[in-house]
C-alpha cells in the first residue's frame, strides 16, 4: 500500500513558518495583504475565495475580498484592479477564475501589476518562471507540488516525470520547473491529442495528473513503484453527505495506491498546498516591498 503524501500536513508546517514570517514583517511595519477579486456567484469559486481569505487571516495577514456582480463591465473591473495596484496595503492581487465569458480574461490578468501578481499568471511572470528568473512569482499549484517533492525527499534528478495536461496554470510551469537545472528531471507533457496515453504514463517514475476527469488514470496505466500526484478536482454529486457533493481526483485512488510507492489523496493532497503557496507568494511580495523601501 502506498505512502500517502499529505498536503494537509505539509501545508500545516509551511503555514506555521508563514505565520512566523508575517509576525516578523509586522514588527518591521508591514502587514502582508492579499486582495481577491471575485466576479459573479459561481459557488465553487466563492468557496475557494472564502478558503483563501480564512487562510490569510489565520496567518496574521490582511485579507480583502472584492465581490463584483456577474454582469460587471470590463472598464469597471479594470478600475477595481487599478485601485488595488495602487493600494499600498495590498501586496498580492488575484482575480478568481473562471471569469464570466464576456470578460477578456487575458487582458484582465495582464491588468494586475506584475509585482502584485501572486498567482504568477501575468505573461511577464510566466516568462520569468520559464527562463528561471527569480523576480517573478511561480503559480501556486506548481510551486506546491515542487515543495511537496522537496519536503518528502522525492528525488527528481534523472527521473522521468510524465505530466498529463498542458495548462498554463499547472502543467506548463511545472514542466519548466522540473526540467530546470537543480530538479533535473526528464519531462513528458501529454494532452487530449496524445496517442496511447497509457504508453507514456506507464514510463513515469513520477506521474502528475492535472486534467479534471475522474477515473482517467487506472492501475494499468501506472508503473509499479511510481510516485503519483493527483491534481484533478471534480465535484461529483453525493446525496449521502450534507454538502451533497464530493471532490474527486483524476486517479483511481483505490486501485493505483495498491501498486505505487507514494500518492497524493483528493482531497487533502495538492489542494491545500495551492492556498498555502499563494500565501507564501504574498509574503514574498510584501518582503520585496519592505526591502525596496529600505534601499
Catalytic residues: 52, 96, 119
Residues 200-219: x/- map of binding to ligand NAP (CB under 6 A)?
Answer: ----------xxxx--x---
**Cα–Cα distance between 159 and 231 in angstroms, integer?**
20
Strand, coil or helix: 103: coil
Residue whose CB is nearest to ligand NAP in the complex, by number = 212
- By CB under 6 A, the residues from 7 to 36 that bind ligand NAP are none
By beta-carbon proximity to ligand NAP, the closer residue of 136 and 271 is 271
**CB-wise, 35 or 278, nearer to ligand NAP?**
278
Rounded distance, CA 44 to CA 256, Å?
28
Least distance to ligand NAP, CB of residue 250, Å: 7
* Pair 69, 40: CB distance under 8 Å: yes
Alpha carbon distance 114, 108 (integer Å): 12
Note whether 294 binds ligand NAP by CB under 6 A.
no
Helices within 32-133 (DSSP H only):
43-58, 74-86, 105-111, 123-131
Q: How far is the CB of 191 from ligand NAP (least distance, A)?
A: 4
Q: In this structure, are residues 117 and 125 in contact, taking their beta carbons and an 8 Å threshold?
A: yes
Cis peptide before 230 (omega within 30 of 0): no
**In the complex, minimum distance from the CB of residue 76 to ligand NAP, in angstroms, rounded to a whole number:** 26
Nearest approach in angstroms of CB 231 to ligand NAP is: 4
Q: Contact with ligand NAP (CB under 6 A): which of 233, 257, 276, 281?
A: 233
| Residue 221 within binding range of ligand NAP, rule CB under 6 A | no
251 lies in the binding site for ligand NAP (CB under 6 A)? no
Q: Could you tell me the three cell numbers for 63?
A: 485579507
Segment 135 to 174, residues that bind ligand NAP, using CB under 6 A: 141, 164-167, 169-171
> Cβ 72 to ligand NAP, closest distance in Å?
23
The crossing angle, in degrees rounded to 10, of helices 7-27 and 270-294 is 20
* Interface with ligand NAP: number of residues (CB under 6 A): 26
Among 6, 31, 85, 194, binds ligand NAP (CB under 6 A): 194
Query: β-strands 206-209, 3-4: how paired?
Result: unpaired
Give the residue, chosen from 190, 201, 257, 282, that forms a contact with ligand NAP under the rule CB under 6 A: 190
Q: Of the listed pieces 50-58, 114-122, 152-160, 184-192, which binds ligand NAP according to CB under 6 A?
A: 184-192
**Which of 83, 191, 244, 293 touches ligand NAP by CB under 6 A?**
191
SS3 of 65, please? strand
The Cα 150–Cα 212 span in angstroms is: 25
In the chain the first and final C-alpha atoms are separated, in Å, by 54
Whole-angstrom distance, CA of residue 172 vs CA of residue 195: 19
Interface residues with ligand NAP (CB under 6 A) are 141, 164-167, 169-171, 190-194, 197, 210-213, 216, 231-234, 270-271, 274
Amino acid at each position: 500500500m502506498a505512502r500517502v503524501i499529505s498536503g494537509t500536513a505539509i501545508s500545516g508546517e509551511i503555514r506555521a513558518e508563514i505565520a512566523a514570517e508575517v509576525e516578523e514583517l509586522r514588527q518591521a511595519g508591514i502587514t502582508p495583504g492579499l486582495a481577491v477579486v471575485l466576479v459573479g456567484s459561481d459557488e465553487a469559486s466563492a468557496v475557494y475565495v472564502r478558503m483563501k481569505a480564512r487562510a490569510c487571516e489565520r496567518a496574521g495577514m490582511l485579507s480583502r475580498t472584492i465581490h463584483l456582480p456577474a454582469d460587471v463591465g470590463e472598464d469597471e473591473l479594470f478600475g477595481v484592479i487599478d485601485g488595488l495596484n495602487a493600494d499600498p496595503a495590498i501586496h498580492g492581487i488575484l482575480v478568481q477564475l473562471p471569469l464570466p465569458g464576456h470578460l477578456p480574461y487575458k487582458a484582465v490578468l495582464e491588468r494586475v501589476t506584475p509585482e502584485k501578481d501572486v498567482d504568477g499568471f501575468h505573461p511577464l511572470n510566466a516568462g520569468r518562471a520559464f527562463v528561471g528568473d527569480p523576480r517573478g512569482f511561480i503559480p501556486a499549484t506548481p510551486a506546491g507540488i515542487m515543495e511537496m517533492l522537496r519536503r518528502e525527499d522525492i528525488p527528481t534528478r534523472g527521473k522521468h516525470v510524465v505530466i498529463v495536461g498542458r495548462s498554463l496554470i499547472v502543467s506548463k510551469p511545472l514542466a519548466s520547473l522540473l526540467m530546470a537545472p537543480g530538479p533535473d528531471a526528464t519531462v513528458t507533457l501529454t494532452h487530449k491529442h496524445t496517442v496511447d496515453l497509457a504508453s507514456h504514463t506507464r514510463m513515469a517514475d513520477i506521474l502528475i495528473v492535472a486534467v479534471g476527469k475522474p477515473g482517467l488514470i487506472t492501475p494499468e496505466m501506472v508503473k509499479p513503484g511510481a510516485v503519483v500526484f493527483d491534481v484533478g478536482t471534480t465535484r461529483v454529486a453525493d446525496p449521502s453527505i450534507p454538502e451533497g457533493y464530493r471532490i474527486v481526483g483524476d486517479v483511481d485512488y483505490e486501485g493505483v495506491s495498491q501498486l505505487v510507492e507514494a500518492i497524493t489523496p483528493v482531497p487533502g493532497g495538492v489542494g491545500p498546498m495551492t492556498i498555502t503557496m499563494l500565501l507564501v507568494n504574498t509574503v514574498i511580495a510584501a518582503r520585496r516591498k519592505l526591502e525596496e523601501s529600505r534601499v
